Amino acid sequence: MNTGMGLIWIAGASGLLAFFTSLLYFLKQDKKFMILSQKLEFAAGAGIIIAMSLLVYHLVGVDTEYSYVFQHSSADLALKYRFSALWAGQEGSFLVWTGFIFIMLAATRFTRAGKVLGETELFALMKSVSLFVASAFLLLLVLKNPFSMYYLTGAGVPEVTNWNLFAEPFVASYGQGMNPLLRNFWMAIHPPLLFLGYAAFTLPFAAAISGLILRDSRWQEFATGWMRVSWFFLTMGIGSGAFWAYEVLGWGAWYWTWDPVETSSLIPWLTATAYMHAKLRFRNGEYGFMLPMLALVSFILVIFSTFVTRSGLWVSVHSWQDFTAEGMVIALFLIIIAGSSTILLVRKYFSED
């Protein structure tokens, strides 16, 4: 049995149900829905964390019956690169990103703002929005499962299954290994730092959406701390990526060449920086419209960056493939969050005195 594939399915179903039950709790204020949502959220998060650990195990052991392992690991790779292969491809990077989202959602209960606002409508709706975002990533993992397995068809030709848990695995004699450009010290540092920053943007976005819906200004008490976390890890990620590019790609004497995907990661860093400056003026009653706009735009730009990286729309050394079903899911998700954010911001703009 393909245990990893089953874990992804269980996590996907649990995450979706956690979103719906959290929404029911917000609408009906019945604590049984809150308790159920928390249990389902834990099940989804635990499933993703266990799946990450299992994928690392397969990558280190070079279990080439899994297509992801075959494409990104090999026996001649050093141990650190076999581990780093966890985020070398699309499936693994989405798995890591999703895991970080659930870890941060769990951590919200222990923050100062989480303890103060934990019983409020604002916090309940924020959890619902965050779980909606997590569900979108879980859907991507179900569609492009990191535990897809090779099996032999009746004609004796190896193919990949993304749904058959009980397929008889076909073990390739070797793994293709990691792209030579990725075999670098920075591979172990740059991607996880970026994914930590990207994942943390989820919470300010969810808080801003909730604050705009409920017209509750306390959203920024929760959002600001996580925006600082996002800014810190994104800064570290962009900086380490610049050094990596300088060493490997030989971009002359510069650490930055305005590669499209590099630039698309810089722009949310700029909006996050602007948010933290605007927060200083928000205390004085200013930037009541600008602050939530910056929180929303920062996350939307992160998703846009993800979309162009994985859709092949921009030519870049970071681009992985042409437009696929996964790209369509990201595009639809981008349209939903951008459209809903625009509607709420327009309402906020015209409601201000």
Tell whether pTM > 0.85: yes
- Are the CB atoms for 323 and 264 separated by under 8 Å? no
What pLDDT band is residue 296 in, cutting at 50, 70 and 90? very high
d(CA 11, CA 116): 29
Across-strand partners of 169? 151
For residue 79, the Cα-to-chain-centroid distance in whole angstroms is 25
- Which helix (H) or strand (E) element contains residue 114? helix 112-117
The three-state secondary structure class of 331 is helix
Across-strand partners of 66? 149
What pLDDT band is residue 217 in, cutting at 50, 70 and 90? confident
What pLDDT band is residue 56 in, cutting at 50, 70 and 90? very high
- The pLDDT, as a whole number, for residue 24 is 94
What pLDDT band is residue 106 in, cutting at 50, 70 and 90? very high
Dihedral angle, C-alpha 185, 189, 191, 197, nearest 10 °: -160
d(CA 299, CA 337): 9
Q: Is the pLDDT of residue 318 over 60?
A: no
The three-state secondary structure class of 27 is helix
Ramachandran region, residue 287 (left: φ > 0; alpha: ψ -120 to 50; beta: rest): left
Q: Is the pLDDT of residue 124 over 70?
A: yes
d(CA 338, CA 326): 18
For residue 229, the Cα-to-chain-centroid distance in whole angstroms is 15
- Mean pLDDT to the nearest integer, 8-18: 96
* pLDDT 10s digits, 223-237: 999 999 999 999 999
- Mean pLDDT to the nearest integer, 39-61: 96
- Are the CB atoms for 188 and 179 separated by under 8 Å? no
- The pLDDT, as a whole number, for residue 308 is 76
Cβ atoms within 10 A of the Cβ of 297, count? 22
| DSSP 8-state symbol, 87 | G
Q: Is the pLDDT of residue 253 over 50?
A: no
d(CA 338, CA 297): 8
| DSSP 8-state symbol, 323 | -
- Mean pLDDT to the nearest integer, 136-141: 94
Two structure tokens written together for 334 = 């981008």
